[in-house]
Structure 1
Amino acid sequence: MAVVQVEELHRVKKETEDSQDLEAAIQLLKEQREAKALYEEVRVLCWVPVSPGLHNKTAVHVKATWGKRCNKLLFISTKDDASISAVDVGSEEGFKALWNKTRSALKYFYANFFNDYEWFLKADDNTYVVLENLRYMLRAYDTNDPVYFGHHYKSKGGYNSGGAGYVLGRETLRRFVEKALPNEAICTSRRYGEDFQLGQCLQAVGVAIVDTRDHLKQGRFFQQHVREILQNPNIHSHLVYYPVKKDGTPDSCCSDTVISFHQMSIADLYMLDYLIYKVRVFGYIQPLPLRVPLPPDLQGVPNRTLQKYFL
């Protein structure tokens, strides 16, 4: 009798293990299916400002790595270059001219691509972006709401860091071009920091900054290199609106659905691309909920999204 019971226990244990493996495999297939669907449903135009001298030095490497996962990738330059989809939007060149280049770029997207994409992502040529995680976060929101996303810096009204990347929806783009740009009193054309000035212009036309942390208060957009933020999670904490979560572990800073890191070298772009999309860890699958949890701070979350989650 005892032998039979032991054999039965082994059989039940084996069936349970098989069931868990099957459940994990099914969850992975669901995530893959959803990711493919989101590529079509959450369309992202990515744009990266570059100078002509960097077309073949940095832009080509963005295009070869994370940029290929955008629905459309454009490099905003002062010289057209079809080989990398670089567009001259009629702006001056140089860091001090970046604000005017940004203004010209956003007007260009509004005139040419407004109805073709739901979201418009700006990143630098030394930013790395995980597009699948960006779409996963954005699926909770409606592009027709006046919102924008990124790494939230403190200031009067706040703004999202340019280096970490920021995302505008259609309504935000429309308000910027139709309401902010024509009004010099609320959206100056003078040469200020591009990310700060954009934040001031958007605030003036009623655009809200949404908390991009995950439900565990871990960040998704980062102005720093991944190495720097892991080694010193509290760096620049006095500048950011949402300080990095502290629980004593180095990786508590960063969400497992992280979206961007900044200050990456060309080698870093390829390294992250390899580690994220090629490396497989045997026996380790970490499923995600198909319905992305809302952030801890709901202040900037539009009513349309809140109603979808709570009604």
Structure 2
Amino acid sequence: NKSDLKLHLNNSSTKVFKNPRILCLVTTQPKNHKTKALAVKETWGKACDILYFASSEADPELPAIAVECESYDHDHLLCKNIKAIRYGAHKFKGRFDWLFKADDDTFAVMDNLKYLVRESDPNDAVWFGCPFALGGNRTKLYMSGGAGYAISSEAINRLMNEFENPSKCMDWDLKRETGADDWEIGSCLNKLNVKIGEERDAVNKKRFFPFRPEELIYPKGDFYDWFKTYNGLDCCSNKTIAFHYVSAEDMYVYHFLIHHLIVKTSI
């Protein structure tokens, strides 16, 4: 199954890297600045070591940078993502160990992301996320963009070098703005020998999801045939990192349930 990829990759080191620094990049658009983007900033974004947004218009309150593309529709997300990653890599160079790329409808649990990456050396070229296989071809892996993905600083360095001096991603025309952003970036990282880290937990449950938790825990009707899922409360790791298609309202609800609700035991 294209979404049930068991990579069986060991983390790059048995050493624990305490307090990994996470640079969070969230792509958004002007109409969402006061809703979805603000919800990210006021919930899970607080746990990022550095948080910035990429939009078609600058907004210093978020903060959001303005990236220039021919268009800002879905077909031009490759342009927005490349320029936003390049901005963060240069602006915050030396201040992060991992770059976490997400959408403004991604809900992430930063503590669980830091728990996952702390056993991997950011000086190794590796990235984590929800792996898909293009057309079922397991040699063509990429990460779901909406589920979020974390790229090590070394992998970012390789990507930046490729941006400046294209050599291995020969089919990557940096002037071309359109394309499937998650596949294009994943394809290039693969050519740069960036390894895909194992995102599953010790009992083989996934941590990154391209859907809302409700769809996984209590799906209505037949689920997508290309995504293997386990219905019910066993669907997801108890160390889950990210869900996609989460509304601004639900972000506050999830944040409260995860970080503020206290369960009292009976006396």
1:59 Cα deviation from its structure 2 partner: 1.1
Matches within 5 A, 1:129-140: 129-140=108-119
User: Could you say which residue in structure 1 is the equivalent of 2:207?
Assistant: 220
CA contact (8 A) 1:89 1:108 kept: no
Structure 1 residues 221 and 237: CA distance shift in structure 2, 3 A? farther
User: Could you say which residue in structure 1 is the equivalent of 2:246?
Assistant: 264
TM-score computed with the length of structure 2 as normaliser: 0.83
Matched, 1:62 2:40: yes
Matched, 1:120 2:107: no
Matched, 1:87 2:65: yes
Give the distance between the partners of 1:216 and 1:68, measured in 2 at CA.
29
Structure 1 residues 147 and 235: CA distance shift in structure 2, 3 A? farther
User: Could you say which residue in structure 1 is the equivalent of 2:162?
Assistant: 179
Q: Which SS does the other structure have where 1:253 is aligned?
A: coil
1:52 Cα deviation from its structure 2 partner: 2.1
Q: Which SS does the other structure have where 2:233 is aligned?
A: helix
CA RMSD of aligned residues (A): 2.1
Q: Which SS does the other structure have where 1:48 is aligned?
A: strand
Q: Which SS does the other structure have where 1:121 is aligned?
A: strand
Alignment partner of 1:100 out of 52, 75, 79: 79
Kindly provide the CA deviation profile for residues 23-82 of structure 1, in whole angstroms up to 9, marking residues without a partner as x: xxxxxxxxxxxxxx95xx211111111122221232111111111111111011122211
Give the distance between the partners of 1:203 and 1:280, measured in 2 at CA.
43
Which of the pair is proportionally richer in helix? 1
CA contact (8 A) 2:36 2:247 kept: no
Structure 1 residues 140 and 186: CA distance shift in structure 2, 3 A? farther
TM-score computed with the length of structure 1 as normaliser: 0.72
Matched, 1:52 2:37: no
1:181 Cα deviation from its structure 2 partner: 6.0
User: Could you say which residue in structure 2 is the equivalent of 1:150?
Assistant: 129
Decide which moves more: 52-61 or 129-138.
52-61
CA contact (8 A) 1:180 1:205 kept: no
Give the distance between the partners of 1:182 and 1:101, measured in 2 at CA.
20
Decide which moves more: 72-81 or 213-222.
72-81
Matched residue type, 1:185: M
CA contact (8 A) 2:25 2:85 kept: no
User: Could you say which residue in structure 2 is the equivalent of 1:75?
Assistant: 53
Give the distance between the partners of 1:44 and 1:91, measured in 2 at CA.
26
- Note the residue ranges of structure 1 that are not aligned, 5 or more in a row: 1-36, 285-311
1:202 Cα deviation from its structure 2 partner: 0.6
User: Could you say which residue in structure 1 is the equivalent of 2:192?
Assistant: 205
Matched, 1:279 2:261: yes
Question: Number of paired residues?
Answer: 240
CA contact (8 A) 1:161 1:195 kept: yes
Matched residue type, 2:172: C
User: Could you say which residue in structure 2 is the equivalent of 1:196?
Assistant: 183
Larger Rg computed on CA atoms = 1
